[in-house]
Structure 1
Amino acid sequence: MKKLLPIICLILLSGPAFSQAVYEEERYVAETDPLALAKIKQWQGLKFGLLMHWGAYSQWGIVESWSLCPEEYGWCERTKGSNPQDYNTYKQEYENLALTFNPVKFNPEKWAKAARAAGMRYMVFTTKHHDGFTMFDSKYTDYKVTGSKSLFANHPKANITKEIFDAFRQQDLWTGAYFSKPDWHSEYYWDPYYPPRDRNVNYEPEANPEKWQKFTDYTHNQILELMTDYGKVDILWLDGGWVAKTPKGEITDWYSGQLGDNNKNGYIKHRIVNQDIKMDELVEKARKKQPGLIVVDRAVHGKNQNYLTPENRVPEKPLPFPWESPMISGGGWSHTFNAKYMSGHKAIHLLVDIVTKGGNLLLNIAPGPDGTWQQGAYDLLEEYANWMEVNSEGIYETHALAPYKEDKVAITQKPDGTTYFFYMADENEKVMPSEITVKSLQPDAKASVSLLGKGKLKWRKSDKGFVVTIPEKWRKDPPADYVWTIKVSALK
């Protein structure tokens, strides 16, 4: 059972259907590279980032890549194309989307300005998803946005990744390259001689070492292109955690079983295959190009997973290592027609909940096939912008502080001891309470206590905590919507 547990964890961490793993139980291996360690520390202070899933699949408004995979999950059923019941026809038509992808309204400068105004400080863009379609001008494939038959190839902004990175750097955001390790278009991963069985390589790498080496070289070459030709890259965000070196003799074929509440469907259905892509070597080469590069080899236990990424969920408690929650803002990870975006109340509470537990929020927005964001995305970012204009100092460069949350009050602290108490209002709570109580922490006798966006507050001791009084004139005129922040200059 001891040997089985790490593999079960890997299964749980390896795909959208099973991404809600118990990250609190996950092991973490600290980085040793001093430049990367310093960079990770800086990244933890940024707190709020943007994730963008975008590719030719946006034309169909479907889940990115996964409908190509012959695993029976309801969230990736084939529904588009002329004959979705025939896999080969579907795959051909899916891949032909590369020929009609033409996002002529692409304007990354507008996105970057909206992200910056919203308080985002870094971004991660899908340079290549599992389907293998590259959103950059790779010289190692013609299955790319700048391909010889692409409608968009001659557009002045055809090299989409470069344009996005440049635009976001202009707004002083860090850049991150999402890159899928599996590649379902590559003949060296899914050999066309064999039908694909599941998400894994469809041949045995150890029995075909030359072919697997070609895939390893292909992957290294594409990542090094991104590290060489696209300016400063701060984060290499690798997906497809099943592409990893796996110890022999543990699980080599199908595993099916009930794994408690984390497996709502009651089954797990894919193989564990040893797919050693020489990650240590790759990271060393990448950091020669980008010193201090943060590497996130998602769901692969080891030194190359510089921070963990509990996907589309927030841990119940602070975690003892660097972490980030990638979250869907509306629709799905990829473009969804007429997507409904989360409310401002939910969005602000989400950010505060994550930050006060010591994590970062990576909020996903999916561009459409014409190269635009939906208005709902801009409206949501404006909600963040309005709130952050008043409260951002309690977000950036802070860490979690026990007891983290009391009733409706969440807590963060800066290294200098300045502490922030976020009163998280109920959805219909528009008027501030006359008093707000904190039970377990107390200001220093000479501390300054204030309400961000308004001014100083009167306070009094209460056992081990304190009570602040909100002036009547401020109660009906709060400084911001959804969450109100009390700042204490020093604790007792």
Structure 2
Amino acid sequence: MTTIRVLTLLFLLALCIPQNHLNAQAVYEDERYVPETDPLVLEKLEAWQDLKFGLLMHWGTYSQWGIVESWSLCPEEYGWCQRTKGSDPSDYFTYKKEYEDLRKTFNPVNFNPEKWAKAAKHAGMKYMVFTTKHHDGFSMFDSKFTDYKITATDVPFSKHPKANITKEIFDSFRKEGLWAGAYFSKPDWNVSSYWDPYYPPRDRNVNYEPEANPEKWQEYVDFTHNQILELLTDYGKVDILWLDGGWVAKTPKSAITTWYDQQLTNNDNGYLKHRIVNQDIKMDELVVKAREKQPGLIVVDRAVHGKNQNYLTPENRVPDKPLPYPWESCIIAGGSWSYSFNAKYMSGREAVHLLVDIVAKGGNLLLNIAPSPTGTWDEGAYTMLKEMGDWMDVNSEAIYGTRALKPYKFDQVCVTSKPDGSIYLIYLVEDGQQTLPSEIKFPLEGLQKRMRAKLLGQNLHLKTKKQEDGLVITIPEHLKTRLLQTKAFTIKLK
């Protein structure tokens, strides 16, 4: 068996092991990256790597129940699929109807995307990715191809002047200078060409065999292509197409056979519960059509190894090491991906340290904030973003446009660099820290004999001393009290 086939099989099997999610992520991150060849996309991808900081928003009718997005509709035995709301959670079909009827009470009358965009801009965010449709199939845009959408007549918010939520969000964030990204779920658990109502759903997959029902599957492929192209035609400039539902992909028959063999021997271990099904959605064709609409479009076909995954997206975790290709950690800022009542948000310090750690490893941070059922953000989100923005006002030079540089991190110091030779040492001040070292030794061999050290935000140069194995930088005593009051401070070497 070739190395590529082995890696592909390991990756596909890892998708079937939610309990071992971190192990699956490790396999995912070690997958060989397939570089893009389109020069416009390569240029755009390079620019995206300079942005460093983005916003992710999960929002849908499910916010009214304060539950995880979509997954309670899926008949799989995992914690995030548990049904806890509705009149009778033990009756699946009653629950499904009540979940889908949430559209009839969804009325986020306090929806104000301009306020969100201004807060994101102040925080230093440079791009935004919004859930135009999650797995439940509810379209947060005025799609011509479904009636299960925010602008349907049975949705109270459809009468609001800002009813086309995706358009309003895209327009507001673009106005503040942020890139617009469309999250779109490839599986759709509402449309009959994916979950045929004749059959009960079995798991997250299509509930019939696509190869035995080619006309029905083609109907689904056409539906998916139409909705995506609709978003790329009618909603202005879209910079990123962020596709979720990695199990909807062309799958080698060998992987399917292996899954069935594993089921025969491991059917009691709880690791391999949902099927691997060949769900060829003709991504190569779709991407060509998409880039005809939006030249240079970055496509992120998440968790599908191949050329249509322009960057990788470790989920709710930060890799232990720099990755040798473009990547972004998508992280929950507070509560869950979807809105949680009484959610506790990261402190500004935690969020700044998270951003710095990711950037020092060469990645981007996509921070998720979930709107409430009335269309607002919690105050905890605004507080966190304001603190991040205040820090970025002084230190953003060490974040934007930088790349990873060994040793990446030492002690409490993260390292970033720029092509002009500038090096940034970002010292992370811990909560409650009482003292600072008098010297910081930067362990980088081969430094130039003369490197000046300057504190960002201060018109002050620091004393340096060159040694064989690095550079020693002196922290003056009279600055220590002030520096301890920061979340992190940056020393620029040039």
Q: TM-score range by the shorter chain?
A: over 0.9
Aligned 8 A contact 1:216 1:277 in 2: yes
Equivalents in 2 of 1:45, 1:487: separation in Å?
18
Match of 1:241, as an amino acid? G
**Deviations 1:369-394 (Å, cap 9, x if unpaired)?**
00000011001101211111111100
SS of the residue corresponding to residue 127 of structure 1 reads: strand
Report sequence identity in percent: 68
Change (3 A) 1:475 1:465: same
Q: Secondary structure at the match of 1:183?
A: coil
1:429 aligns to 2:433 (yes or no): yes
Q: 1:440 aligns with which of 430, 434, 444?
A: 444
My pick for the range that moved more, 465-474 or 367-376, is: 465-474
Structure-2 residue corresponding to 1:415: 419
Q: Deviations over 1:26-79 (max 9, x none)?
A: 111000111001000000010000000000000000000000000100122000
* Matching residue's letter, 1:12: A
- Quote the offset at 1:480 in angstroms: 6.4
Conservation of the 8 A alpha-carbon contact between 1:146 and 1:159: yes
Contact 2:429 2:484 in 1 (8 A): no
Shift, 1:427, TM fit: 2.5
Contact 2:246 2:301 in 1 (8 A): yes
Deviation of 1:10 after TM superposition, in Å, equals: 2.5
The 5 Å alignment of 1:161-310 reads 161-252=166-257, 255=262, 267-310=271-314
| SS of equivalent residue, structure 1 residue 152 | helix
Distance in structure 1 (CA, Å) of the matches to 2:388 and 2:16: 31
Q: Give the counterpart letter for 1:284 in structure 2.
A: V
The answer (yes or no) to whether the contact 2:327–2:364 under 8 Å persists in 1 is: yes
Number of residue pairs aligned between Structure 1 and Structure 2: 484
Tell me what 2:322 maps to.
318
Partner of 1:345: 349
Does structure 1 residue 85 correspond to structure 2 residue 113?
no
Q: 2:333 aligns with which of 317, 329, 332?
A: 329
Q: 1:12 aligns with which of 14, 20, 26?
A: 14
Q: Distance in 2 between matches of 1:483 and 1:12?
A: 37
Could you tell me which residue of structure 2 aligns to residue 141 of structure 1? 146
Counterpart-to-counterpart distance in 1, 2:401 and 2:264:
43
Distance in 2 (alpha carbons) for counterparts of 1:71 and 1:56: 21
Shift of 1:362: 0.3
Cα offset, 1:9, TM superposition: 1.3
Q: Secondary structure at the match of 2:483?
A: coil
Distance 1:433 1:355 in 2: 24
Are 1:102 and 2:104 counterparts? no
The residue aligned with 1:262 is none
| Structure 2 residues without counterparts, runs of 5 or longer | none
- 1:483 match: 488
1:127 touches 1:177 (CA, 8 Å); kept in 2? yes
Partner SS state of residue 242, structure 2: strand
Contact 1:14/1:240 (8 A) holds in 2 = no
Q: Using the alignment, how far apart are the partners of 1:13 and 1:408 within structure 2? A: 35
CA distance in 2, matches of 1:396, 1:65: 35
Q: Which amino acid aligns with 2:57?
A: M
User: How far is the alpha carbon of 1:102 from its aligned partner?
Assistant: 0.3
Does the Cα contact within 8 Å between 1:52 and 1:365 map onto a contact in 2? yes
User: For 2:9 and 2:289, how far apart are their aligned partners in 1?
Assistant: 28
Per the normalisation by structure 2, the TM-score is 0.94
What secondary structure does 1:130 align onto?
Answer: coil
Q: Tell me which amino acid in the other structure corresponds to 2:122.
A: A
Asked if 1:51 is matched to 2:51, the reply is no
Change (3 A) 1:150 1:44: same
- Partner AA of 1:25 in structure 2: D
Q: 1 CA distance for matches of 2:94 and 2:186? A: 25
TM-score, length-normalised on structure 1?
0.95
Is the contact between residue 453 and residue 479 of structure 1 (CA under 8 Å) also seen in structure 2?
no
* Pairing of 1:443-458 with structure 2 (within 5 A): 443-454=447-458, 455-458=460-463
1:257–1:266 contact (8 Å) kept in structure 2: no
**More moved, 200-209 vs 462-471:** 462-471
The correspondence for 2:122, drawn from 74, 92, 117, is: 117
Aligned partners of 1:15 and 1:237: how far apart in 2?
Answer: 23
With over 3 angstroms needed to count, the CA separation of the structure-2 counterparts of 1:378 and 1:84, relative to structure 1, is: same
